[in-house]
Amino acid sequence: MASDSYDVIVLGAGPTGENVADRAVRGGLSAVVVESELVGGECSYWACMPSKALLRPVGVVSEAAAVRGVTGARLEPAEVLARRDTFTHDWKDDGQVEWLNGAKISLVRGHARLSGERLVSVGDVTLAARHAVVIATGTDALVPPALAGVRPWTSREATSAKSAPSRLVIVGGGVVGCEMAAAWSALGSRVTLVSRGALLDRLPAFAGELVAAGLRDAGVDVRTGVNVSAASRAGGTVTLTLDDGTPVEADEVLAAAGRTPKTAGIGLPSVGLEDGTWLSVDDTMRVTDVDGGWLYACGDVNHLALLTHMGKYQARVCGDAIAARAAGREPAVVDIASRTRVPQVVFTLPEVAAVGLTAEQATAAGLRVRVVEYEIGNVAGAKLFADGYQGRAQMVVDEDRRVIVGLTLAGPGVGEMIHAATIAVVGEVPLDLLWHAVPAYPTMSEVWLRLLEAYGL
């Protein structure tokens, strides 16, 4: 049995694993990542990149259709799919491997599993870590038991399919379900979206309501408040029975009902952890239930925020913490964003963008909050952006500190507006100071001024 030593060993070369290794190397350490599939992870090949490559043309056509005087914008599905394939590099990772080489990060291909304190096995090889082991193995799609026997699509097929099924039923009204409904209905599928609750139910209700209306306008059959009670497949046809007794037939069914951690079979019991569990971490990404302080977990696998940008942020925090501790110091920077200040954009029809806490979450956290809302369509920039612009902004203010703790925007083109809100929330910019951040006229960002005026400034 061969053995190699590195300062840091990372399990998984997704966006998180790549970044934690990079940060450790920048901090003067040696690092190896172990990858069982493609360097770049879910995000590059079956999630963010291909899904947004499918959705951007949909957004362009929808925006063009909302401006009088613009005609002729339409999708060419084969070209959209071909463009998508350029973003996934035809599911080859040569470019990302080159990046690893340039960043002086070693790569071992194979399935990694912990085999004891600071030890990782890959086939016959044992890797030993001088300072830290980082688990960044990500998540898999969660397939509800009712769908297990009908060979459902998961997010992987939904982002990599080579053609649109004639009829697609999507089970799950969260981000993946809503985004894929927008994409595949525009690409030619007749889509039924089945959701147990309201759409996007972790966000303020108006966001899901606008998206439900937008998807219906786009031809999606949106059914909320229903679940799948049975499913069967005969040849090319899947039949779902909903719990209100209605049958739904389709050629493909997409399970978009959440994620499950890829932590089964990676040797967690060898260090005293339960197989297949989410990993709980402190604010430097160190796993809380393991002695010795050598095991870290970043990205999806710690369940703090299942988003690429948050995984990469945690990777920076984690890599810096490992490098600091290796040098005998405590880390200067720890995670202040993952639990309460997470930005997110949902690329649906229309877009939804949010950061921080909802009013319910802020109240549950013991804050005295005030909620202010404004119709984005009233500002000149929105009227110019789309005829009959429909959209809303909601600001959640911590009344005791007079700072914004959460902001949600729903409407065409709002995705690019969220970073201003992230700066306000993370920077805890006092409202009286924010009032002097003058939005340019005539942009949609004037909604900031209107929200502050509605608040009473």
Q: Which C-beta is closer to ligand FAD: that of 36 or that of 227?
A: 36
Distance of closest approach, residue 141 Cβ to ligand FAD, in angstroms: 7
Q: Is 140 left (phi over 0), alpha (psi -120 to 50) or beta?
A: beta
Q: Which C-beta is closer to ligand FAD: that of 284 or that of 308?
A: 308
Q: Which C-beta is closer to ligand FAD: that of 262 or that of 392?
A: 262
Alpha-carbon separation of residue 82 from 39, 48, 90, 161, 329 (angstroms): 21, 16, 9, 11, 50
Distance of closest approach, residue 290 Cβ to ligand FAD, in angstroms: 17
Which residues would be at the binding site for ligand FAD (CB under 6 A)?
11-17, 34-37, 41-43, 47-48, 51-52, 111-112, 136-139, 155, 159, 176, 262, 266, 299-300, 306-309, 311
Q: Which C-beta is closer to ligand FAD: that of 36 or that of 260?
A: 36
Contact (CB, 8 A) for 349 and 182: yes
Distance of closest approach, residue 39 Cβ to ligand FAD, in angstroms: 7
Contact (CB, 8 A) for 338 and 314: yes
Q: Which C-beta is closer to ligand FAD: that of 36 or that of 363?
A: 36
Distance of closest approach, residue 35 Cβ to ligand FAD, in angstroms: 5
Helical H runs in 258-372? 308-326, 359-364
Question: Residue 149's closest CA among 285, 76, 281, 240?
Answer: 240
Distance, CA of 238 to CA of 233 (rounded, Å): 4
Q: Which C-beta is closer to ligand FAD: that of 306 or that of 424?
A: 306
Q: Which C-beta is closer to ligand FAD: that of 42 or that of 351?
A: 42
Q: Which two tokens stand for residue 124?
A: 């016959």
Distance, CA of 397 to CA of 359 (rounded, Å): 9
Distance of closest approach, residue 111 Cβ to ligand FAD, in angstroms: 5
Contact (CB, 8 A) for 182 and 218: yes
Q: Which C-beta is closer to ligand FAD: that of 103 or that of 454?
A: 103
Distance, CA of 84 to CA of 104 (rounded, Å): 29
Q: Which C-beta is closer to ligand FAD: that of 238 or that of 297?
A: 297
Distance of closest approach, residue 326 Cβ to ligand FAD, in angstroms: 22
Q: Is the CA virtual torsion 195, 377, 309, 86 positive or negative? A: positive
Length of the chain: 457
Give the 3-state secondary structure of residue 321: helix
Contact (CB, 8 A) for 231 and 241: yes
Distance of closest approach, residue 419 Cβ to ligand FAD, in angstroms: 13
Q: Which C-beta is closer to ligand FAD: that of 6 or that of 455?
A: 6
Question: Residue 376's closest CA among 266, 307, 265, 451?
Answer: 451
Distance, CA of 276 to CA of 425 (rounded, Å): 34
Distance of closest approach, residue 23 Cβ to ligand FAD, in angstroms: 14
Distance of closest approach, residue 244 Cβ to ligand FAD, in angstroms: 28
Distance of closest approach, residue 343 Cβ to ligand FAD, in angstroms: 9
Distance of closest approach, residue 15 Cβ to ligand FAD, in angstroms: 5
Contact (CB, 8 A) for 359 and 390: no
Q: Which C-beta is closer to ligand FAD: that of 311 or that of 412?
A: 311
User: For residue 417, what is the DSSP state?
Assistant: G
Q: Which C-beta is closer to ligand FAD: that of 242 or that of 255?
A: 255
Burial code (b: 16+ CB inside 10 Å, e: under 16) for 218-230 equals: bebebbbebbbee
The torsion defined by the Cα of 351, 220, 182 and 360, in degrees rounded to 10, comes to 40
Distance of closest approach, residue 29 Cβ to ligand FAD, in angstroms: 19
Q: Is the CA virtual torsion 332, 338, 343, 345 positive or negative? A: positive
